[in-house]
Structure 1
């Protein structure tokens, strides 16, 4: 709990209580430093201190390799994209003064703020109409110069929509993606990181979910040298629902990172977080941090988060840190889980005892482990393509 502020009588230049000094803001920790909702946020990169790599949100990231995107100059001009859309889905460049910009969230780290301030135009995706709609945005050939991006996805009330953001080719990209889900809307967003081996991608996704609305959000990271996608979901409307999924496969020397934040801020809201990853090859590294906050204004919350990692070879490292804060005693349920391990030998033995060779048995176990999440996308063609991509990852890396 927060400590009380000192009175005038006990205030000194060196205020110490139980061996702990007061915060530099002049107060006695009116908010505990571990409270996720009180993390500093701003659209101005200059408002953030210099990133040293010791900060809670950067300590597991390869900061020195990310310097150009964190505090260097970024090209924020519009870029070329390909769009495949159905009626009810409209995409266009809009001015950064659009009233939707900033409605879903605000940067919580310097790279995100740098991208926000550097962007000249915002890619707007609007979903409307009574019939289900879908749109796929493809980006490729962003070149190797540090670049900024900003996308706003707006699902209007009572719509049903699918948005796929596909990233391929080479890039040095810092970006923000805002997702606004109006009352009663059903939106699925899939972001695919299939970059070339040299790509570096830092992305912050901010989602605001209205009354009785539902968001299904998928992060699929397979390619790139360093990929860090941090989704935040604000359950702001009564009865809102968020399902956040992730699948990632790290090869030798690859760093794949996800920092997930779910903020239950309304009554009777529900969330499920399920991220699964595999690591193969020397130096393969994954980071998953899951923060769930159930606020005082969110009675009746039902929440659960989990992360599972499958280690396929020596020399890999998976960091998995689930966190749960509960500020009300009136909840339907809350929990979290994390596990990292190697193959289950019993599974392999079972398959081999039925005439399946070791390599094929290994492939089946890994695909079964990861495809559980992919199958929740609900779009058969996309699911099939992603399963094929996972098979390519399996056969392209080093065997255990």
Structure 2
């Protein structure tokens, strides 16, 4: 069965990137690493119609600087961060671009940043980018986790940026990986990212998208549970202010049998023109017997003048599953929660802040990196303090 959502996309011709055959399943979209295979983006396409494409046209189809950039890294345990060439065999194994911006980044990058995790002892790596600048840039990152390895990888983005990029995540059999992508950009930054992940047998991936900063930020994760017993937790938290656009289009594909998936994104919006977009696609394939899957998106509207688009979609191609479902909710404060707190002597404004903090912290607390969780809690407090002015 198919859940509610937007109209079907169109399968693109393998040469021209356009056509007129309706796509029947989410994984049937046209894909290519060649930007010229995609037609220009008009904003009428299903995958772009909620995005302010006028702000992103140079990233979607313009010239991008794909050279090596300045990056700060830390690595412990069996983690190593290096640069590799375009001929590296891992490139393209996790996924292939399905839109023009991703293909433009793919066509442009000269070297890929590789985060390699080996060994069975817990490892950690942090990649921090603070000096990308305002020029349009294309980038490519690979996170490659060997069999039985266990690691936490943080991709920390700050400062100015005008960036289109692809991130490939390879999780080996029996491995356990947490990847956290933090978008804490400066106010005017533009960032379009596609994350492709492939999870092996009995492996676990926790993928977390945190978007607080930037003018226009679009991070689209696509995760394939490819091995029997694979497990995926796809989490997201975002806070949009006046004039800010934060977007995630999430795809979780249960390809193998007895896989488990949980998708949960939560966001808050305040200020005139604050706009968030969440589209969640879950596909349970014909071989994914015994699958257990659930996705949900919840948005808390703090002021007038905001807009939250939320579209959960569910496709099931086998009748033998453990369970599947989806949900979406967007609304204002829960009056009962506010009444409960105020009845105990807490002033209304403080009560409101406590409700928002608790709403977003339910995701932050699942990250599992204490120092990062503390930083994000402080960022939430700063956002809420701004709402008081």
Q: Same fold, TM exceeding 0.5?
A: yes
Q: Helix, strand or coil for the counterpart of 1:238?
A: coil
Alpha-carbon distance in 2 for matches of 1:385, 1:197:
18
Q: Deviations over 1:134-188 (max 9, x none)?
A: 0111001211000011000001000110000000000000000000000000000
| Structure with max Cα Rg | 1
> Residue 170 of structure 1 is aligned with which of 156, 160, 165?
160
Calculate the TM-score normalised by the size of structure 2: 0.94
Cα 1:235/1:31, change in 2 over 3 Å = farther
Counterpart for residue 372 of structure 2: 382
1:264 to 2:264 alignment: no
Structure 2 CA distance for aligned equivalents of residues 266 and 286 of structure 1: 32
Secondary structure of the corresponding residue to residue 389 of structure 1: helix
Q: Aligned equivalents of 1:23 and 1:310: distance in 2?
A: 35
Unaligned runs of 5+ in 1: 2-21
What does residue range 147-186 of structure 1 map to in structure 2 within 5 Å? Answer: 147-186=137-176
The alignment partner of 2:65 has SS state of: coil
TM-score (norm 1): 0.92
Contact preservation (8 Å) 1:305, 1:337: yes
Contact kept in structure 2, 1:202 and 1:228, CA below 8 Å: yes
Give the Cα separation in 2 of the matches to 1:397 and 1:62. 24
1:44 aligns with 2:19: no
In structure 1, the partner of 2:81 is: 91
Instruction: Pick the aligned partner of 2:310 from 320, 332, 352.
Output: 320
Aligned partner of 1:247 among 237, 248, 256: 237
Residue 296 (structure 2) aligns with: 306
- For residue 34 of structure 1, report the CA deviation from its aligned partner: 4.5
Deviation at 1:355, TM superposition (A): 1.1
Local SS of the residue matching 2:297: strand
Q: Does the Cα contact within 8 Å between 1:200 and 1:226 map onto a contact in 2?
A: yes
Aligned length: 376
Q: Secondary structure of the equivalent of 2:229? A: coil
Counterpart CA distance in 1 for 2:189 and 2:12 is 38
- Output the aligned Cα RMSD: 1.6
Partner of 2:321: 331
Instruction: Structure 2: state its 5+ residue gaps.
Output: 2-9, 14-18
Q: Kindly indicate whether structure 1 or structure 2 has the higher relative contact order, using CA contacts under 8 Å at least 6 residues apart.
A: 2
Q: In the aligned structure 1, how far is the partner of 2:127 from the partner of 2:345? A: 43
Runs of 4+ in structure 1 deviating by more than 6 angstroms, as ranges, are 22-25
Residue 314 of structure 2 is aligned to residue 342 of structure 1: no
One of 177, 193, 207 as aligned partner of 1:187: 177
Distance 2:109 2:254 in 1: 30
Q: Deviations over 1:315-357 (max 9, x none)?
A: 0000000000000000000000000000011111111111111
